Amino acid sequence: MTKANTFTPSQDIGLYSQTLLCFTSTISKGFIYDYIRFLRVFLQF
């Protein structure tokens, strides 16, 4: 019973991490550009 219980969450975690990785990679691209733009304005480059 414990093996069955530990097997299904690992599958869910694998699927969740894949979705999270795809989600963060799309967000981080836009976030890095916004952060650089903010730094340029803030530090007056």
pLDDT of residue 1: 47
**Predicted local confidence at residue 31, as pLDDT:** 82
Domain boundaries, the chain: 1-45
> Who's near 39: CB < 8 A, 6+ residues apart?
45
Sequence-ordered alpha helix ranges (H) in 1-45? 2-43
Q: What is the pTM of this model?
A: 0.36
- How remote is the C-alpha of 43 from its chain's centroid? 28
Per-residue model confidence (pLDDT) at position 3:
55
The pLDDT of residue 9 = 61
pLDDT at 4: 52
Tens of pLDDT, residue by residue over 1-45, are 455 545 566 777 788 888 888 788 877 788 888 888 888 888 875
